Structure 1
Amino acid sequence: MKKLLSIIFIVLFNFVNAQEIPTTYTLEIDSKYQFRPYIDIEASSIKSQDKTGTCWSFSTSSFLESEIYRLTGKKIDISEMYSVRGTYERKAWNYVMRQGKAQFGEGGLGHDVINSLKTDGLVPESEFSGLIGNQTTHSHSQMVKEIQTILDAYIKNDIDSPYPNWKQTVDELLNENLGTEVNEFVFEGKVYTPKSFLEMTTINPNDYISITSFTHIPFYENFILNIPDNFSNGTYYNVPLDEFNSIAKQVLENGFSIEWDGDVSEKTFSPKYGIAVLPSNIENNTKSLTEIVPEMDVTQEFRQQEFENYNTGDDHLMHIIGIVTDQNGKLYYKIKNSWGTNSNRIGNDGYIYMSESYFKLKSISILIHKNALTQDLKQKLNL
């Protein structure tokens, strides 16, 4: 895309002083990539999900923070763990009702946070950090293991089980490990409940939809995507692959950000170098982390094949907050990760620049505000 358009979009969609944007920058000292900002959406700073599988809440909460800013101009740090706590309860109920024939664990998806808004409301980080006592980092593995032990004992109808009331016991465990439910709190001098706080942000959970691209479902239909973490049977709108990629760019150009779900298992997804690319020749995998190489032309058929053979799975969720271009003018999605910034394994200040090829093959879905779509597409999707 032309440099003149690049300058225009920076002015329109970047919420910081344009003079603060560098003209070019590189990822690592030994990297030959040179990136220029093209679109920047206002987003909160990088956080760390620590030793948890709660990327779904960190990414969607970051997405909602950008939405709150877009809608109200307020910068609010919302609680990731408030949604996590409620989702663990719903996931436990689902696991029990399906008699253990469902996934129970730390994973989830973007629509689980949206569902949490509908049932539990929203609270700021200052009211629910999910950290107890002197804790400074999150770790849920032991808690989740203990909850599943309780649920399995109930399902097996173990007469010797020390957990006669699984709901109460799970609630007590969540209180002990994450904190008690929030009923009322003061924020900026006003008293709120979680529901009234949500209303103050003007976020409407019904405005958010998930979009994907697969051939086993007719295009422009809404369906339940059968992936392991979709315990809540969230629905997705299905569109052709090229349109899927075009939608992502269009959403960002319209000043909206995106919550992304996809696969990060490729060797060419590198948090160290802050890059995610898809070389057409695997011999260039290592080289591609530090310099531009030819990339794969991803087709709808190959995408479907990689999904059906499990090479593309719902590994991780992140927040897309813009677009950058390399020195050849090629586009990359700028993605905010939730793995922190303070490790020698984390480069590029915790952000990932993802090529369109990688996005087209390795994306499971995107979560967006429906108003970011064109009227024509809304009609096709019956929105």
Structure 2
Amino acid sequence: MYKFSLKPFVAASLLLGGISMGFAQDNLVNSLNGNLSANSKDSFVFTDVISLDNTPVKNQGSSGTCWSYSTNSFLESEMIRMGKQPVELSQIYTARNAYIEKGKNYVRMHGATTLGDGGALHDVINMYRQYGALPQSAYTGLNYGTANNKFAEMAAIQEGLLQAVVKNPNGELTPNWEKAYTAVIDSYLGAVPQSFDYKGKKYTPQSFAKEVVGINPDEYVEISSLKDHPYYEKMVLMVPDNWSLDLVYNVKMNDLTTIIDNALKKGYTVGWAGDVSEKGFSWKNGVAYIPTKPFAEMTPEEKETIFKGPQPELDVTEEMRQKAFDNYQTTDDHGMHIIGLSKDQNGKEYYIVKNSWGASNDYKGYLYMSKNFVKYKSTAIMVNKGGLPAPLAKQMNIK
């Protein structure tokens, strides 16, 4: 009933037209356009190996809330896996709460931390634990007549207000700055209902999370891979959107795909965060992979055919991955939701990835991401502990 199944069909190209899309980092707009190959639609044939249940594709609009859309989609799939009726969770309720906490953190850190729309996979779990959850029907975040999120004005006012607070013009912070900051957010996104009706029953956000969603936030772990930290221990993932300085588990690069493969085979989907600024990532072609040479070094003919059927890929190493992270070539650009595994006509495996830019390409909002792309460009993944391979869970001391 809730399953999106990619039947064997052919990849096609798409011009994005006027669709409005947001990132945690707005300077990556060019990566959305990718590169168009002639006859791309005739060049790829993907066949499902695993396609797990997930809810319909959403559109994050002009907001950097991919982290909330992707991880709430992940939780909706968890509800299905648990045998529950899935609910479209309010992604903007999660984001609103994160903005409140981020603002507090910004002031405590005297402004020396990240602000803006961006966030991390763990933010959704943290906000769920602290604030509960709302269905989309109870909190849309569309409070001033727009059909989709449009956050630029709100974000500018948030930043201006908090910068004024940090300057501390009174010489002592008043207790009112939090009220003023919250009022700005609620004026744009809407006040949070203290209680609401859902299917004939009254709930609070906390009771709705407990009784309807039923997710245990302690069941989820976030994992990354960096060579300069001890493996199988926790570390602070040093990316700008980790404003809360959460700890994640550190594993070897190849463990990332081992974990994803194991989770999918056991029926668990996976949250994904990573970099989509590479020329090998093309939304309109619905494919992401790592070409064997940099785009700038390609001939015009090679550039024209970069997505014309399956191509050879660069062999990725842990040293390459670390260097790309250190040089800002791999940044925490985007969050998506891995829901399956597919093969192209040559037998090469790709993950089926659900995006939050609407059903705006020929895969109706999904794309195919190679395992090498995941190894090279992931900043973090999130999975239910039940999806971990037992040997790796033991190495990380996860029970």
Normalising to structure 2: TM-score of the pair? 0.87
Residue of structure 2 equivalent to 1:196 = 207
Cα displacement (A) at 1:259: 0.7
Residue 230 of structure 2 is matched in structure 1 by 218
CA contact (8 A) 2:61 2:357 kept: yes
Corresponding residue to 1:336 among 320, 331, 354: 354
1:269 Cα deviation from its structure 2 partner: 0.6
Residue in 2 that maps onto 1:276: 288
Aligned residues: 365
For 1:259, the equivalent position in structure 2 comes to 271
- Structure 1 contact 210–237 (Cα < 8 Å) conserved: yes
Aligned counterpart for 2:388 among listed residues 373, 376, 379 = 373
Displacement, 1:286?
4.2
Residues 133 and 205 of structure 2 are in contact (CA less than 8 Å); yes or no, is this contact kept in structure 1?
yes
Number of the residue aligned with 1:8:
none
Give the alignment of 1:124-203 within 5 angstroms. 124-159=135-170, 165-200=176-211, 201-203=213-215
Change (3 A) 1:293 1:258: same
Per-residue CA distance 1:336-366 (angstroms, 9 max, x = gap) = 1111124xxx442221100111111011110
Task: Please say if 1:84 is aligned against 2:102.
Answer: no
Query: Are residues 1:247 and 2:259 paired?
Result: yes
1:320 Cα offset (Å): 0.6
**Conserved 8 A contact 1:72-1:202:** no
Within the candidate set 53, 60, 66, 1:55 is matched to 66
CA contact (8 A) 2:11 2:362 kept: no
- Find 2:82's aligned residue among 71, 74, 80: 71
Per the TM alignment, residue 159 of structure 1 is displaced from its structure 2 partner at its CA by 4.5
User: Does 1:288 find its partner at 2:306?
Assistant: yes
Instruction: Give the TM-score normalised by structure 1.
Output: 0.91
Given that residues 40 and 309 in structure 2 are in contact (C-alpha distance below 8 angstroms), is that contact kept between their aligned partners in structure 1?
no
**Which amino acid is the alignment partner of residue 230 of structure 1?**
N
Which residue in the other structure is 2:248 paired with? 236
Q: What's the offset of the Cα at 1:183? A: 1.7
Question: 1:133 offset after TM fit, Å?
Answer: 4.4
Higher relative contact order (CA 8 A, sep 6+): 2
370-379 or 101-110, larger mean C-alpha shift: 370-379
What is the one-letter code of the residue matched to 2:40?
D
Compute the RMSD of aligned alpha carbons.
2.0
CA spacing shift, 1:160–1:136, aligned 2, 3 Å: farther
TM superposition shift of 1:22: 2.6
Are 1:251 and 1:373, in contact at CA under 8 Å, matched by a contact in 2?
Answer: yes
Gaps of 5+ in 2: 14-38
Equivalent in the alignment of 2:17: none
Q: 1:324 aligns with which of 321, 342, 348?
A: 342
Quote the Cα distance in structure 2 between the aligned partners of 1:225 and 1:380: 19
* 1:38 matches 2:49: yes
Q: Secondary structure at the match of 2:40?
A: coil
Distance change in 2, residues 1:133/1:104 (3 Å): closer
Instruction: Tell me the distance in 2 between the aligned counterparts of 1:208 and 1:82.
Output: 20
1:27-79 CA distance string (max 9 Å, x none): 34633010001111111111111111111101111111101111133121110
CA distance 1:285–1:260, shift in 2 (3 Å): farther
* Partner Cα distance (1:22, 1:55) in 2: 26
Contact 2:9 2:45 in 1 (8 A): yes
User: Could you tell me the percent identity over the aligned residues?
Assistant: 37
Question: C-alpha separation between the residues in 2 aligned to 1:286 and 1:113?
Answer: 40
Amino acid of the structure 2 residue aligned with 1:38: V
Is 1:15–1:41's contact at 8 Å kept on the other side of the alignment? no
SS at match of 2:162: helix
Of stretches 85-94 and 196-205 in structure 1, the one that deviates more from structure 2 is 196-205
Indicate the residue corresponding to 2:323 in structure 1.
305
1:187–1:55 distance in 2 versus 1, CA, 3 Å: same
1:360 to 375, 379, 382: 375
